[in-house]
Amino acid sequence: MNILLIDADRCGLDFAQRCVDAGHAVKWFRYSKRPVRDGEGFKGIEFVTKWRDHMKWAKQGLILTTANHKFLKELDAFREFGFPIFSPSFKSAQMEINRSAGMKLMEKVGANIPPFKIFDSLKAAEAHARKADQSYVFKTMGDEEDKSLSFVAKDPAELVGWLRRKQAQGLVLKGPCMLQEKVEMVAEVGAAGWMGRDGFLPGKWEISFEHKKLMSGDFGPNTGEQGTVCQYVDELKPAEEILKPLEDEFRKMGHTGDLAVNGGVAKDGKYYPFEFTCRAGWPDSYIRTAMHKGDPAQWMRDACLGHDTLKVSRDVAIGVVCSQPQYPYDTSTPEMVEGNPIQGLEAVWDDIHPVQVMVGKGEAMKDGQVVDAPQFQTTGEYVLVATGLGKTIEKARKAVYGVIDEISLPNMIVRNDIGVKVQKQLPELHKLGYATQMEAE
């Protein structure tokens, strides 16, 4: 099959190399504001600089995008002519980019939306927080690339201080922001499904538990997502309450591919949705790849044609991000992050998902001497994701950290507690009817 990968998030390498390994022809368009070396030296991948020139080549195969980027409106025109595009449409992407639009859609099906107020600047949000008598969560509403700007304040004073510091640092938002009333949660829970031409693939809902902080114990800066516990399940409350009732709405928008809602489970068992994700998330997409059986791309083309051929594991799966400085700030120069050797990947390759990686020449030992030889090397801060599966969270934890133990990367940043807090949350979640197919030990 001919596969055209249109990648604006620097997260397509794993899919590209797995498709090559499965015998597909892969052309990879990497859209970036600066030169990147991701995937250099990987055999079988063809890099292209103009994706439009290769659309006809991929029409009998698959076109996949990785982000809510500026090409979606143009790609929608190709959909009208029968091109198999597995990605959000321009309209569906707005449900993620514009949080208020997504919330209004959720309100159509009676979702429990925590009250919120929208502001056009950090200064205006600060003024409101100064008069508040309750805790808020700060979130961006526009097309912000930096999802780590979300901030959960313990009280109004902490929020005011955080907003003042951001302004002092010169932060100017691309769009409005919001302050949303804080909900005391048992756990933050994500729900996702795959949409094909005719709607969601049945019986393949994904429940997920994200770990957003950089450091073990949930300390440090927000990274967006540092590691996640996932499982495919037959039924899932947030999916039945929000995603499934909105299936027709998203079909009208032309959406295909991943569709997720993230939210929190309160002590009364109600689910409070926070936001949609209308594209393949990461590390989530790598973890789901680990749970998929068979060809990595054929099921996507089949879904575009109205067929469900996806086979999945029902085991618990855990993915852990392995990075290097200056992560998570993305402030490194190429000299700092390119060419650092990564050793040990060959032994655990099936459970490794390369992200910002290349094959270059580096120092290696041969016959007791140092020689130059091909080796895996870094190309950026977000290096790779390791995954592991098991019948329980603890068994999945042992699997994924066994993989990480084999990896040698100078100054590697990794959390060693992904899944621990979920084990503690499970008894209460089970009482409330969530994650009932997931076990801790």
CATH for the stretch 115-181? 3.30.1490.20
CB 287 within 8 A of CB 317: yes
The closest of 84, 224, 100 to 151, measured between CA atoms, is 224
What is the pLDDT, as a whole number, of residue 147?
Answer: 62
Give pLDDT tens digits for 302-332: 999 999 999 999 999 999 999 999 999 999 9
Q: Is residue 146 pLDDT above 90, yes or no?
A: no
| 238: its two tokens | 């947030």
Q: What pTM value is reported for the model?
A: 0.94
| 334: its two tokens | 């190429």
What is the pLDDT, as a whole number, of residue 145?
Answer: 54
Mean pLDDT of the chain: 95
271 vs 434: CA distance, rounded Å:
10
Q: Is residue 349 pLDDT above 70, yes or no?
A: yes
Residue with tokens 């575009």: 304
SS3 271: strand
Give pLDDT tens digits for 18-40: 999 999 999 999 999 889 999 99
| 135: its two tokens | 């805790």
What is the pLDDT, as a whole number, of residue 142?
Answer: 62
CATH for the stretch 2-92? 3.40.50.720
Average pLDDT score over residue span 250-279: 96
Q: Is residue 148 pLDDT above 80, yes or no?
A: no
CA dihedral 281, 409, 371, 335 (to 10 degrees): 70
| 27: its two tokens | 């052309």
Q: Which helix (H) or strand (E) holds 122?
A: helix 122-130
Q: Is residue 162 pLDDT above 70, yes or no?
A: yes
Domain residue limits, the chain? 2-92, 115-181, 185-431
Give pLDDT tens digits for 35-60: 999 999 999 999 999 999 999 999 99
CB 406 within 8 A of CB 350: no
239 vs 280: CA distance, rounded Å:
17
What is the pLDDT, as a whole number, of residue 128?
Answer: 95
- DSSP state at residue 434: S
210 vs 147: CA distance, rounded Å:
13
CATH for the stretch 185-431? 3.30.470.20
Average pLDDT score over residue span 95-115: 92
Average pLDDT score over residue span 387-414: 98
Which one-letter amino acid corresponds to residue 283?
Answer: P
- Cβ atoms < 10 Å from Cβ of 314: 14
What is the pLDDT, as a whole number, of residue 90?
Answer: 97
The b-or-e profile of 130-148 (16+ CB within 10 A means b, else e) is eebeebbbbbbbeebeebb
Which one-letter amino acid corresponds to residue 297?
Answer: A
User: For residue 27, what are the β-bridge partners?
Assistant: 4, 46
Which one-letter amino acid corresponds to residue 327?
Answer: Y
Fold matches, 115-181 and 185-431: no
